[in-house]
């Protein structure tokens, strides 16, 4: 049976001063339970290989320049995509591009505020809405201190990057969700180096923070997950089909185990103990969308211990119940072959109203060249047809 840890809701939801690290209360039982299958270091489900399918779209490419780690948002018009990424491996000036046709073609690099050149970490962009229905875009840049830029006009103009508080972290905020009360929670991790101005002890913690004003201000972070024997990080959020449960899929950076998952049935007030995922869902920086028929499409960097696509840009297709019950899922997809093992695929994953899935990420797609930003558009009908041919 899973057990949930209190996440010190007073700190999260009222924004009290002080960063709480590794201060978990007594576990609370929940009804999510059941026998789970043994955890495997590999997987048995089929792999659809799209590497030779020549429909790869170039978002950006520059000879001799490392371009990495994109995140993106799809706007309300269902065709405009805004994408940000660093000129470098995490650290580097932020590049900003736009597509007005669902990722089929891309603009030149767009103008950005001058201080975006000072970004030290992977930028992450999100759509948010306050309780009054006002929409805005926010973009984070992490490490210490975490900084935030805001757009109130659908990305036409942006503020400078400004510190949010006296705290920081790694890949801030890799995941964000609107809660049932109209507020927002977001998640990131730190390894003890960047949470505060003074370097702390070396340990990996997953943190949660909260905004009650549509993403303009954020509470001090609180630790919600830690395991001494492994390094949990880079959370990716998935909400259950009935809307009642949140799951965070977690990278395992020590490479001793598979990826992990934690669950919350009360909008992030408490979280379960971390549980190891199947090999089929083991990777870095999970990003998920629901397909039109209710399945999940989750993309990530493949770090499965035993995998023919290890180090490549991959995706997994399965169900919410597969995650809860520890099952392997339906099938995996190799989206592109990465030629420098393990340096690719912090993917953006978006879904248009017609069901088209748009995926964007970086990687060493051309042997001997610097990584560049690629985009793939696909439908579940096409993927399912390819799957049937493998059966």
Q: Give the pLDDT score at 33.
A: 57
Please state the domain extents for the chain.
Answer: 3-29+44-390
Please name the residue that has the structure tokens 């001090």.
220
Q: Give the pLDDT score at 359.
A: 99
CA 48, 78, 382 angle in degrees (round to 5)? 20
DSSP string, 294-320: S-EEEEEEE--SS-TTTTSEEEEEE-H
* Cα–Cα distance list, 73 to 99, 112, 157, 360 (Å): 10, 17, 15, 11
Which residue ranges in the chain fall short of pLDDT 50? Answer: 1-31
* Cα–Cα distance list, 158 to 92, 112, 116, 137, 261 (Å): 18, 7, 10, 9, 34
Q: Give the pLDDT score at 3.
A: 39
Fold of the domain spanning 3-29+44-390: Neuraminidase (2.120.10)
Please name the residue that has the structure tokens 């994109």.
70
The token duo for 299 is: 């993309």
Task: Write the burial class of residue 2 (CB in 10 Å: 0-12 exposed, 13-18 middle, 19+ buried).
Answer: buried
Q: 3-class SS at 120?
A: coil
In the sheet that 147-151 helps form, which strands lie side by side, from edge to edge? 123-129, 135-141, 147-151, 162-163
Q: Is residue 237 within 8 Å of 175, Cβ to Cβ?
A: yes
- Please, what is the end-to-end C-alpha distance for the chain in angstroms? 35
Q: Give the pLDDT score at 214.
A: 98
CA–CA dist 39, 44 (Å, integer): 12
Question: Tell me: the pLDDT tens digits for 86-117?
Answer: 999 999 999 999 999 999 999 999 999 999 99
CA–CA dist 195, 78 (Å, integer): 37
Question: Tell me: the pLDDT tens digits for 154-186?
Answer: 999 999 999 999 999 999 999 999 999 999 999
């Amino acid at each position: 049976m899973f057990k949930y840890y209190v996440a010190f809701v007073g700190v999260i939801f009222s924004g009290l001063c002080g960063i709480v690290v590794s201060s978990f209360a007594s576990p609370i039982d929940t009804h999510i339970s059941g026998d789970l299958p043994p955890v495997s270091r590999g997987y048995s489900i089929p792999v659809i290989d799209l590497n030779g399918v020549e429909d790869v779209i170039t978002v950006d490419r520059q000879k001799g320049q490392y371009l990495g780690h994109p995140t993106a948002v799809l706007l309300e018009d269902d065709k405009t995509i805004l994408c940000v990424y660093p000129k470098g491996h995490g650290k580097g000036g932020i590049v900003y591009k736009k597509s007005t046709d669902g990722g089929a073609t891309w603009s030149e690099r767009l103008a950005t505020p001058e201080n975006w050149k000072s970004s030290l970490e992977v930028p992450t962009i999100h759509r948010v809405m306050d309780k009054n229905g006002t929409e805005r875009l926010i973009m984070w840049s992490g490490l210490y201190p975490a900084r935030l830029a805001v757009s109130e006009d659908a990305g036409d103009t942006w503020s400078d990057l400004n510190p949010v508080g006296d705290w920081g972290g790694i890949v801030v905020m890799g995941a964000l969700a609107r809660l049932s009360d109209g507020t927002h929670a977001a998640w990131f991790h730190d390894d003890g180096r960047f949470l505060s101005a003074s370097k702390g002890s070396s340990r990996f913690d997953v943190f949660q923070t909260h905004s009650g004003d549509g993403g303009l201000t954020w509470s001090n972070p609180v630790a919600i997950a830690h395991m001494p024997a492994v390094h949990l990080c880079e959370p990716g959020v998935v909400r259950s089909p009935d809307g009642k449960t949140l799951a965070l899929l977690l990278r395992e950076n020590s490479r001793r185990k598979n990826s992990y998952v934690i669950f919350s049935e009360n909008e992030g007030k408490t979280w379960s103990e971390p549980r190891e995922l199947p090999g089929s869902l083991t990777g870095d920086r999970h990003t998920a969308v629901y397909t039109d028929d209710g399945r999940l499409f989750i993309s990530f960097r493949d770090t499965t211990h035993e995998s023919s696509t290890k180090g490549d840009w991959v995706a997994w297709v399965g169900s919410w119940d597969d995650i809860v019950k520890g099952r392997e899922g339906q099938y995996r997809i190799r989206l592109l072959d990465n030629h420098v093992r393990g340096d690719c695929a912090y993917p953006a994953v978006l879904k248009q109203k017609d069901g088209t899935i748009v995926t964007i990420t970086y990687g060493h797609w051309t042997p001997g060249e610097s990584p560049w930003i690629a985009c793939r558009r696909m439908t579940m009908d096409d993927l399912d047809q390819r799957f049937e041919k493998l059966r």
